[in-house]
Chains A and B, each alone.
Chain A
C-alpha cells in the first residue's frame, strides 16, 4: 500500500512549480519559467508512467482483479465524529489511466507552448497557471472522497478561468473566462447539493465506501422517494449536473465554444483532454453507485450524452472558426462517452459501456489534443482562426498536415487507428442497450467524419489565400509534440482496455463485432466521401447545399440560438425585470416604509413637544415611569 506513497509527488511537483514560478515571475528571464514548468511536468509524467507500469503490470498478480488502494491519506478537517474530511490519493484503474492521460497531454502542451507562446507578455505567468491547472486536475482524479474532489473541482474551474482569460486585455477573452466560470459554478451548485444529499443519506464521502457494491452505502440506498424517484437517484442527478457543467453537456455547454478565446495550447489541455472529461470521470468514479443505487439517473446520463453528441455534431458542420469546430467536436465526443456510461451495466461484460467510455476518453485525449495543437500550428502560420482565410496549406506545413490527417482519420473511426476501436466498443454497448441511441450514434459517426474532413480540406487543400507572408512550418519544439501525439493516436487502440479498466476491476473477453464495425466504417467512409466531393476542390456546391437547407443551416450556424436564449434570460429578465425593480423596491418601498415609521414618530413628537422642556428631572421621571410601566405590562398583561 505505502509503496505508492511517492505518487504524492505527482500533484505536488506542479504545485511547487506554480508557487515558485508564480512568485518569481518578474525575475525569470526569457524562457526560464517555461523550462522550469516543463521540467517539473516531465518528472510528474515519468512518475505517472512508472505508476501505470507498476500498477497494471509489475504489481499485478495474474488472474486477479485490480483493486483500489489508498496510497496516502490524512485528515484535513475533523468536524465531528460523523463528519471528517480527508485528503488523500486513491490508486485504481481509472485514476491511474487519468494520470497517464493528464500528464501526457499536459507535458506535450508544456513543450509545445515553449514555441507557441514565445515572446508573449507574461510567459512565466502562463506557465505558472498551467502548473496550477495540472496540480488541480491531478488532485481531482486522485481524490479519495467526494469532498476532496469538489475542492479540486473548483480549483480546476478557477485555474481554467485564469488560463482562458490569459489575454485579459481582450474583453472577449475575459468575458469568455467569466462565462465559463459562472456557468460551471452554476452546475457546481448542483454538484454540491448532490454531495450533501448523498453523504447525508449514506454517512460518508469516501469513494471506497460509497462504491463498494457489497458495502453499507449502496445497501442503504433504497429509502425515501421524492416525485417518483428515490432520493439517491435525485442526488446522483444533481451530481451529474455538476459533471455536465464541466463536460459541456447540453444545455450547460454554452461556455465551451467561447472558451476558445484562450491560447490554443490551453484549449488542447483543458478543452480537449482533461477538464472537459472531468464530468465523465466523475460519473465513472461513482459508477457502482449509479448502476446499483440509481439506474434511473444513468438513463438521464445516457440521453443527455446522446442528445449532446448529435446536437454538437450538427453545429460543427456549419462553423467556420476552426477552433470552434473542434470545440463542438469535443462536445460531441464527450457525449459519446457519457452515453456509453449511461447504457452500461455493472460487472463483467455487462460493464462493456464503462470500459468503452474510458477507452474512448483515452484515445480521444490523444487525437483531440493533436487536433488542437495542429490547429494551433496552422493559426501560428496564418494568424487567423477562420477557415475561409485558409487553403492549400499542405505544401507549407507538411508535418502538421500529416499529423492532422492522422487525427482526422482517427476521429472518423477508420481502422486501424485508435478511434475505430474505442468507438466500436461504444456502439456495441449502445446496441446491447438501446436501439434509438445506437441509431443516433451511427448517424453522428457519419457526421463526425464529414465535418472533420470539411475542416481538413478547407485548411490544407483548395487554393492559396493571400497570406501576409509565406506560411511556414512550426519549429521542432511544436512539431515534436504533434508527432508524439500522432503516435499515440495511431497505436493506443491496441491497448487491452478490457483487461485493465473495467467496472469491477476484473478483465473480460472482448472482441470486435464486425456486424457493428463494418457498417460503422462504411458510415465513416461515406462521410469522408461527401466531404471530399464538396470541399476538396473549391466549388459552389457547399453554398448550394447550404441554400437548400437554408433554415436548418441558419439555425445550426447560430448554434440553435441557445446563447441568445441564455442572454435573454440573464440580461433581459434577471437584470432588467428582476434586479432593477428589486433595487427600486429597496430604495423606495422598504426604505420608504422605515422612513414612514420614523415620520410618524416625528409627527407624534411634534404633537407632544411640550414635553421637550429641557428639564433633566422631567426626562428622568418620564423615562423611569415608562420603563416601570413597560415592566408592569410585561409582568401582568402578557
Chain B
C-alpha cells in the first residue's frame, strides 16, 4: 500500500506543478513538501521492512492487470537502501536551490519531482520492462534541466549525454527482448522469471556486453565517461547533484540486479576486463583531478574515481565487495551532494569556481570551513566517516579477488588525499583574495542543508550497523542466485 504512495506522491505533485503557473514563492515549497512527504512514506516502508525483512512489501494493483500487463513494485535490501538515498537526498537538493531556477520555476520543480518518481520506479520495480521504462523516463527531466537551466554550451553537452545513454539503453532493450523470448512458459517480464532463464555461455557474452554498455555509460566506467565532466560542469548544481548523487547509482543497481545474477559464465570470462577498466578509471580520474583548476571539474573527476572503485568491487563478486558497494553507494551519494553544495556556496558568493582565484575563506567563514572540512575528510575516507567503511570493504573484496589490483586501487586513498587537500588548502586557507574578500559565513538555509549531510557522514562512519544489516541479505541473495 505504502509502495503505491511512494511512487504516486511525487508523480501527482509533479503533474500539479506542471499545471500551475509560476507562483514564485509557492512552487519550491510545494516541491519541498512533496519530497518530504515521500521521505516520510519511505521511512514508514523502512520500518515495515525492518520489522519483517523477509517479506517483500509488494504492490500489484489489479487495475493494471486488467489493462493487460503487470505493474509491480517491491523491495529488497538493495532497493531499500537506494530508495532511502533517493528520498533523503531529494528534499535536500530541492531546498538547496539558490534561486537559479527563477525562470519557469514550476516546470523546474515539476521535472525534479518527475525524476524522483522515475528513480524510485527504477529501484523498486520487479518487472524488467517497467525497469526499462522508468530508466528512460529518468533521462527526460535531467535532459531538460541541463539544457534549459545549464551554463555555457549546455545544448551540445547535454545532447551528447543523451545520445550516450540512449545508445546504451537501446542495446539493453535488445538484450531484454532476447531474454524475454527465452523465459519459460507464458512469457513475462518479471525478474523472477528472468532469473530462471538458462543461457548458453556464448549468448551470455553478447547479452552481458549489451547490459554492461548501458550500465557502464550510466555509472560511468572508463572509457565511457567523457560525457560526465562536461555535463557536471555545465548543468545547474542541483542537476549535478541529481546526476552524481543518485542517477549514477542506477547503473550500479543494474549491475547488481541483472548482470551479476544473469550472466555468471560471461563474468567468469569477461569480468576481469570490467575490473581492469574500473581500476584504470580510478587511477586515471584521480590523476586528472590533480591538475584541475576548476572546483566543479575537480569534484566531478573525484566522483569518477570513487565510482570506479564501487564498480570494481561489484565485479569482484565477493561478499565484501558487494556489501562495500552498497554502503559506498549511499556514502558517495551523500558526500558528493555535500561537495557540490559547498561548491555552490562558494560560487554563490564569489561568482567563480576557479581554484586559483580563491583563498582565505576559512578566516572569513569558520563555520563553513568546519562543515566543508568534515565533508572533505568524508570523501577521502577517513576512519569514522562514512566512506571509510565502504571503501575498506570494497578494497577487501578486491583483495580477495586479486591482491595486486587491490593495491593499485588502494592508491585512490592517497591520490584522493592529494587533490582534496590541495583543493581545500587553495580555496579555504592562505591569503584572502579579491574574490573572497567579502565572503560571509553560512546562512540558516545552508546550515539546514549541511547538517543532515554531516549527520549521515558521521552516522555511517561511527555506527553503520543499520546499513550493513539492510545490505547483508540482499548481498547474500545476489550471490545465491549466482553462486
Pair A154/B382 contact, Cβ less than 8 Å: yes
Contacts of A192 in B (CB 8 A): 395, 410, 413
* Assembled-state Cα–Cα distance A99/B160 (Å): 60
A28 to chain B, nearest CB (A): 14
Contacts of B411 in A (CB 8 A): 189
* Assembled-state Cα–Cα distance A168/B426 (Å): 11
A5 within 8 A of B: no
Pair A77/B465 contact, Cβ less than 8 Å: yes
Pair A182/B421 contact, Cβ less than 8 Å: yes
B350 to chain A, nearest CB (A): 19
Question: Interface with A: B259-267, B284-292, B447-455, which one?
Answer: B284-292
* Contact digits for B458-483, partner A, Cβ 8 Å, 1 yes 0 no: 00000011001000000000000000
Question: Interface with B: A416-424, A435-443, A523-531, A583-591, which one?
Answer: A583-591
Interface residues of A in 574-631 (CB under 8 A from B): 574-575, 578-580, 582-583, 586, 590-591, 593-595, 598, 627, 630-631
A181 within 8 A of B: yes
* Assembled-state Cα–Cα distance A165/B424 (Å): 12
Contacts of A593 in B (CB 8 A): 223
Contact for A586 among B177, B178, B224, B288, CB less than 8 A: B288
Contact for A77 among B178, B360, B431, B468, CB less than 8 A: B468
Pair A578/B287 contact, Cβ less than 8 Å: yes
Pair B177/A579 contact, Cβ less than 8 Å: no
Q: A178-B421, A635-B181, A638-B203 are in contact. Are A580 and B430 (CB under 8 A)?
A: no
Contacts of A185 in B (CB 8 A): 413-414, 417
Q: Is the interface of B mostly helix, strand, loop or mixed?
A: helix
* Assembled-state Cα–Cα distance A593/B225 (Å): 12
Q: A79-B468, A174-B425, A580-B291 are in contact. Are A182 and B177 (CB under 8 A)?
A: no
Q: A189-B413, A196-B396, A590-B226 are in contact. Are A579 and B429 (CB under 8 A)?
A: no
Contacts of B226 in A (CB 8 A): 586, 590-591, 594
Contact for A155 among B174, B224, B384, CB less than 8 A: B384
A63 within 8 A of B: no
Q: A189-B411, A197-B403 are in contact. Are A178 and B422 (CB under 8 A)?
A: yes
* Contact digits for A228-252, partner B, Cβ 8 Å, 1 yes 0 no: 0000000000000000000000000
Chain A: CB-nearest residue to B178:
A634
Q: Which of B224, B291, B292 has the most CB of A within 10 A?
A: B291
Chain A interface category by residue count: 35 or more
* Assembled-state Cα–Cα distance A20/B162 (Å): 50
B312 to chain A, nearest CB (A): 15
A169 within 8 A of B: yes
Contact for A579 among B291, B362, B363, B431, CB less than 8 A: B291
Pair A189/B291 contact, Cβ less than 8 Å: no
Interface residues of A in 157-216 (CB under 8 A from B): 158, 165, 168-169, 171, 174-175, 178, 181-182, 185-186, 188-189, 192-193, 196-197, 200
A80 within 8 A of B: yes
**12 A-B pairs, CB-CB below 8 angstroms?**
A79-B320, A79-B468, A154-B388, A169-B360, A171-B430, A185-B417, A189-B411, A579-B291, A582-B287, A586-B288, A627-B177, A638-B203
B residues whose Cβ falls under 8 Å from a Cβ of A: 160, 163-164, 173-174, 177-178, 181, 202-203, 206, 223-224, 226, 284, 287-288, 290-292, 319-320, 323, 360, 362-363, 377, 382-384, 388-389, 393, 395-396, 399-400, 403, 406-407, 410-411, 413-414, 417-418, 421-422, 425, 429-431, 464-465, 468
Query: Closest 6 interchain pairs by CB?
Result: A591-B226, A151-B383, A579-B291, A168-B429, A154-B383, A634-B178
